DNA sequence: TACTATATTTAGTCTTAGCTAAATATTTGT
DNA sequence: ACAAATATTTAGCTAAGACTAAATATAGTA
C-alpha cells in the first residue's frame, strides 16, 4: 500500500459511513483536494487490487479488505493523536496534521507498543473511537447537542467537526470533552441555545451545538 | 525536501565524514542500493538547490545548507531510536528500520517535544551522538577496541557497525554499551583478542573488536 | 420525453525518481 | 604515455500519481 492509496481508502471510509455506502467520484475529489479525473485513475487501481467495488459511473465502496485497511490506518492516526496530546502536550487542534503523516508509518510492533504505552485508549482527543487490532469499533450511543430537547443534557464526549478553528473556539470558550452540559433554552428565531455548562451559563449558536456529541445521562 | 532528497543528503553526509569530503557517485549508489545513473540525476537536482557542491566527474560534497539538513535528519533519526528503545522497549537491533521512516516526519514541534520527553539525550542506543537543534555535535574521544594496546581498556560507548546481525551477536554474548572492557591478549596469528569484560573473560575476533568504540579510562 | 446541466471518464501531458544501454572521462598498469 | 579497466554521465524509457481538455454518461426539468 502506498501512502496515496491509503489516503484514498481512508477518505472513502469516512465519506460513506464506514465505507459501506457507495461514494461519488466528485465527493472524493473534493475531500482530498484533487481532481475527479485523478480519482477515477486511482479508483481503478484500487479496484484491480480488490480494495474497492467500482462500476463506472456508479460510485465506489470498500470491499472487506479495503475496510480492514481503512480501520488500520484510522487506528494508527488516532493512537498517534493520543500520543501527541498525552505524551507531548500538543493541544487537540494541533494533532491532525502531524498524525496525517504518522499514520503511514509501517510497523505493527510500533503501533502495538504505542497502544500499550498509552494504556490501550478507547477514544482519541476528539472523542472518536479507536479501532482495536482486529478493527473492532466501540460505537457510543451519542447524539448531537442540537438534538437534545430543552431540559435534557449529558456529558460532552466528542466533536463532529474537528477543524482547528472549531477546536480553538471551544478552548477559548472553556468547552471540552467530559463537561456536563444542559440545554436550558432554545431560541426559536435562530436556533441558538442557552446551555448550562458546569456552574456557568452560555449562549451558543445552532452551528456549535450541531458539532458537539453528547452522551445522555443514564436513566 | 522530498523523502528521497533527504536520504541522498544523509548518505552523502555519512560517507564523506560529515559531508566535508567529496564522495563518489558510485559509493552513493552502492550505499543506497541504487544505480550510479540515478545518483547523477539526483545530485544535479541537489546542486540546483545549492545543497551539494558538484562538478562533473569530481564527486559531491555538502554545502552549508546541505549539512544543516543532514544534521536535522540525523537528529530526528536518533531521537526516534531513543524513543523506540526507552519508551517502547524495542531492542537496539530493531530500531533502525522504523527510524528510517520516522526521520522524515515534518514537524519541528514534534521533534522538540520528543527531545523533551526523552530528557534531551546526547547519544542514541548505538552510542552515536545526537545533534542538538542547531546541529551541534558532541564528539567523543573514542577509539576502536582493535586499536587498544594489550593492558589498556575502558568503557564500551558505541558500535561502528550497527547492523542487526552484529547487534544481535553482541546481545548473545552479553556485550553492551557501558561495559568495562580490558584487552588482555592479542593473538598474533589472526588478530583475535582475549578481553576481560566485567568479571568474565572472552575471546573475540579482530572484526568484532574493529566495530566497538571504547572510551579510554581517564588519566 | 427530450434537452440541458452536472458528473464521470478518457486521452494525452507532466514530474519525480527510478532503470538500462551507450557514450565519454578518468585512472591505472605496464 | 598509452591501452585497458573503471567510473561517470547522457539519452531514452517506465511507473506512479497528478493535471487539463475533451468526450460521454447520468440526472433533472420543462
Q: Are B196 and B153 in contact (CB under 8 A)?
A: yes
Residue of chain A minimizing CA distance to B104: A101
Q: Is B80 inside any structural domain?
A: no
Find cell 557497525 and name the residue.
Answer: B161
pLDDT at B218 (0 to 100): 61
For a pLDDT cut of 90, what percent of chain A falls above it?
A: 93
Minimum distance, in Å, between the CA of residue A142 and any CA atom of chain B? 33
Give me the mean pLDDT over the A121-149 stretch.
93
Over residues A67-83, mean pLDDT: 98
CB of residue B5 closer than 7 A to nucleic acid strand C?
yes
pLDDT score recorded for residue A201: 95
Which residue out of B81, B107, B111, B112 would a mutagenesis test of the A interface target, given it has the greatest number of A Cβ atoms within 10 Å?
B107
- CB contact set of A29 (below 8 Å; sequence gap of 6+): A35, A36, A38, A39
For every residue of B107-134, which 3-state class applies, written as one string?
CHHHHHHHHHHCCCCCECCCCCECCCCC
User: Environment class of residue A39 by beta-carbon count within 10 Å: exposed (0-12), middle (13-18) or buried (19+)?
Assistant: buried
Residue B26 lies in a domain: yes
pLDDT digits (tens, 9 = 90+) for A187-202: 999 999 999 998 899 9
H or E stretch covering A176: none
User: How far apart, in whole angstroms, are the C-alpha atoms of residue B17 and residue A164?
Assistant: 44
Tens-digit pLDDT profile for residues B99-131: 999 999 999 999 999 999 999 999 999 999 999
> How many angstroms is C1' of C24 away from CA of B97?
39
B105 in any annotated domain: no
Question: Once rounded to an integer, what is the mean pLDDT over residues A144-162?
Answer: 95
Shortest Cα distance, chain B CAs vs residue A114, angstroms: 7
Q: How far apart are CA A62 and CA A15, in angstroms?
A: 11
Cβ proximity of A102 and A76 under 8 Å: yes
Chain B: closest CA distance from residue A4 (Å): 15
Rounded to whole angstroms, the Cα distance separating A169 from A164 reads 8
What local confidence, expressed as pLDDT, does residue A53 receive? Answer: 97
> Domain for residue B33, yes or no?
yes
Give residues with Cβ within 8 angstroms of B102, minimum separation 6. A105, B76, B77, B80
State yes or no: pLDDT of B219 exceeds 50.
Answer: no
Confidence of residue B19 (pLDDT cuts 50, 70, 90): low
3-state secondary structure of A214: strand
**Which chain A residue has the Cα nearest residue B108?**
A98
CATH code of the domain containing B178: 2.30.30.90
Split at pLDDT 50, 70, 90, the class of A218 is low
Instruction: Return the pLDDT at A198.
Output: 87
Nearest CA in chain A to B110: A88
pLDDT at B217: 76
Task: Choose the final residue of a domain: A12, A32, A62.
Answer: A62
CB neighbours of residue A210 within 10 Å: 14
B112 part of contact set with chain A, CB < 8 Å? no
Split at pLDDT 50, 70, 90, the class of B17 is: confident
pLDDT of residue A19: 67
* Mean pLDDT for chain B overall: 95
What range does the domain containing A47 cover? 3-62
Number of structural domains (chain B) is 2
Q: Reduced to 3 states, what is the DSSP secondary structure of residue B84?
A: helix
- Give residue-wise pLDDT tens across range B156-204: 999 999 999 999 999 999 999 999 999 999 999 999 999 999 889 999 9
Count Cα neighbours of B1 within 13 Å in the Cβ-side half-sphere.
22
Q: Is residue A219 pLDDT above 50, yes or no?
A: no
- A71 in a domain, yes or no? no
A177 vs A91: CA distance, rounded Å: 13
Pick the residue of B6, B109, B111 with the most A CBs within 10 A to test the interface with A by mutation: B109
The total of other beta-carbon atoms located within 10 Å of residue A177's CB is: 17
Given a cut of 80, is residue B93 above it in pLDDT?
yes
Q: Is B1 on the interface with A (CB under 8 A)?
A: no
Residue A136 forms part of a structural domain: no
Among B44, B62, B80, give the residue marking a domain's end: B62
Which of B62, B78, B108 corresponds to the end of one domain?
B62
Burial B28-58 (b: 16+ CB within 10 A, else e): bbebbebeeeebbebbebbbeeebbbbeeee
Q: How high is the ipTM of this complex?
A: 0.92
**Does residue B93 belong to any structural domain of this protein?**
no
Three-class DSSP category at B157: strand
Task: Write down the pLDDT at residue A217.
Answer: 76
How many CA atoms within 13 Å lie on the side-chain side of A181?
Answer: 31
Asked if residue A50 belongs to a domain, the reply is yes
Q: What residues in B contact A106, CB-CB < 8 Å?
A: 101
* A7-54: pLDDT as tens digits: 999 999 999 887 678 999 999 999 999 999 999 999 999 999 999 999
For residue A16, give the CATH number of its domain: 1.10.10.10
Amino acid at each position: 500500500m502506498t501512502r496515496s492509496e491509503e489516503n484514498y481508502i481512508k477518505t472513502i471510509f469516512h465519506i460513506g459511513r464506514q465505507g459501506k455506502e457507495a461514494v461519488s467520484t466528485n465527493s472524493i475529489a473534493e475531500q482530498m483536494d484533487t481532481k475527479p479525473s485523478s480519482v477515477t485513475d486511482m479508483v481503478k487501481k484500487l479496484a484491480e487490487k480488490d480494495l474497492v467495488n467500482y462500476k463506472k459511473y456508479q460510485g465506489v465502496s470498500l470491499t472487506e479488505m479495503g475496510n480492514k485497511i481503512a480501520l488500520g490506518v484510522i487506528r494508527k492516526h488516532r493512537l498517534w493523536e493520543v500520543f501527541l496530546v498525552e505524551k507531548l502536550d500538543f493541544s487537540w487542534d494541533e494533532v491532525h496534521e502531524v498524525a496525517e503523516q504518522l499514520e503511514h508509518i509501517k510497523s505493527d510492533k510500533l503501533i502495538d507498543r504505542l497502544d500499550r504505552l498509552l494504556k490501550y485508549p478507547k477514544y482519541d482527543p476528539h472523542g472518536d473511537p479507536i479501532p482495536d487490532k482486529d478493527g473492532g469499533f466501540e460505537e457510543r450511543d451519542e447524539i448531537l447537542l442540537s438534538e437534545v430537547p430543552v431540559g435534557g443534557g449529558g456529558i460532552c464526549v466528542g466533536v463532529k467537526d474537528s477543524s482547528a478553528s472549531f477546536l480553538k473556539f471551544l478552548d477559548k470558550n472553556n468547552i471540552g470533552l467530559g463537561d456536563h452540559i444542559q440545554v436550558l433554552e432554545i431560541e426559536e428565531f435562530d436556533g441558538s441555545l442557552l446551555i448550562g455548562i458546569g456552574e456557568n451559563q452560555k449562549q451558543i449558536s445552532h452551528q456549535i451545538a450541531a458539532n458537539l456529541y453528547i452522551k445522555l445521562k443514564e436513566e
